[in-house]
Amino acid sequence: MQYRKLGKTNESVSILGFGCMRLPILDGNMARIDEEKATSMIRHAIDQGVNYLDTAWSYHSSVMGQKGESEPFVGRVLKDGYREKVKIATKLPAWLINSRKDMEDILDSQRERLQTETIDFYLIHSLGDATWKKMKALGIGDFLDKAIADGKIRYAGFSYHDNPDLFREIVDAYDWSFCQIQYNLLDENYQAGKAGMQYAAEKGMGIIAMEPLRGGKLAKGVPDEVIEIYKKVNSERNPAEWALRWVWDHREIGTVLSGMNTLEDVVQNIKAASDGEPDSLNPAETEALNKVKSLYSNRIRVDCTTCSYCMPCPSGVNIPGNFGYYNDYFMFSSKGAREVTTKLFYFFIKPDQRPDACTECGQCEEKCPQGISIIDELKNVGGIFA
């Protein structure tokens, strides 16, 4: 296992982190973790050198966004001396917070659920425009300072899901130690993006990369054309290894979180991590990856950059969200991948945010810098996910 210093924390973290959001489950119930399998997976990973575990208040919940089973499971799996071998990261659910007392109560509950006095890396979960405004108004900085001073947490950070400009504002608003951003082969300029990553790194912040395999789509159900490109350069490396190596090639990245759900995933990713040095891809590998990026890009149906200038929609339609799943449907075109994309669409895009809610007022098209015929394209989305 290779390790890197995580920004100004100077902590040495394994370049592969274990994301505890997609653990094996029983009977298709997200709230029922298969503890025997999951324990074997996590302890094997730790035994092989993984020292960063990422969980959250809401992971493995039966109701989206509410208290889940991941944190208490992590607390149990780290018994028998395993707690001393790892750094725990968990997150404050910003969407549930309405007062300073809420922050304190949830943090104390998380420490109890995780069976630890001190949480090593504490993040404000899923910051965006609305949650950031609320957190600022409630004095999140003072809360984090006190939590650190009281020994309840060691380092403060945030995870991010919004536009590049807001990311910079948040980075500059507090003396954060680290941040967690979505970063992968296809999302180099998505949300915080490469520019945001570099900006945070220049400020001394550690960078945690999430979704390196784009929810597994860069590893399974990969188009045959992509497989052929990879094989011509290295026939032994599977698509997951290629995608992980692309992220690890960026020296700004401290650790890459993988939501592994089988022991085979763990073994393969640990193997890939042995070669995950920064700036280590050779010209032929870089060229192959660029070809893969172009191939996926050519499958995009709507050239939406998720700038969100079209938002908010007066009728409540989640325009960028609809287009994101529509593009994924064609980019990852195997039957299995399309089934997963459809399920995710119905899970994350609520009924009143779907194309049917569009009244064709046209305000979005006037604001779109890409000149997208949004009304017509939303009809196409509706046709696919009807």
Query: pLDDT digits over 52-74, tens only?
Result: 999 999 999 987 678 999 999 99
The residues, ordered by sequence, that sit 6+ positions from 233 with a Cβ below 8 Å of its Cβ are 284, 285, 288
pLDDT at 2 over 80: yes
Contact indicator for 330, 323 with CB cutoff of 8 Å: no
Quote the CA–CA distance of 221 and 230 in Å, as a whole number.
14
Percent of the chain exceeding pLDDT 70 equals 99
Per-residue HEC secondary structure of 254-300 comes to EEEEECCCCHHHHHHHHHHHCCCCCCCCCHHHHHHHHHHHHHHHHCC
Percent of the chain exceeding pLDDT 90 equals 76
What is the pLDDT, as a whole number, of residue 352? 93
The tens digit of pLDDT for each residue in 143-154 reads: 999 999 999 999
Quote the CA–CA distance of 138 and 72 in Å, as a whole number.
27
The residues, ordered by sequence, that sit 6+ positions from 315 with a Cβ below 8 Å of its Cβ are 357, 358, 359, 361
Phi–psi pair at 5, nearest 5 degrees = -75, 135
What is the pLDDT, as a whole number, of residue 63? 78
Report which DSSP code applies to 64: T
Kind plus residue range of the DSSP H or E element containing 37: helix 35-47
pLDDT at 158 over 90: yes
The residues, ordered by sequence, that sit 6+ positions from 241 with a Cβ below 8 Å of its Cβ are 268, 271, 272
Residue 337 is which amino acid? A
Q: Is 97 left (phi over 0), alpha (psi -120 to 50) or beta?
A: beta
248 compared with 338, residue with greater pLDDT:
248
Model-level pTM? 0.85
Quote the CA–CA distance of 286 and 294 in Å, as a whole number.
12
Note if the bond before 24 is cis, omega within 30 degrees. Answer: no
The tens digit of pLDDT for each residue in 290-328 reads: 999 999 988 889 988 677 778 889 999 999 999 989 998
Q: Is 357 exposed, middle or buried (0-12, 13-18, 19+ CB in 10 A)?
A: middle
Q: Tell me which residue of 37, 80, 89, 41 sits closest to 257, measured CA to CA.
A: 89
pLDDT range class, residue 238, cuts 50, 70, 90: very high
The tens digit of pLDDT for each residue in 97-119 reads: 999 999 999 999 999 999 999 99
Using alpha carbons only, how large is the chain's radius of gyration in Å? 21
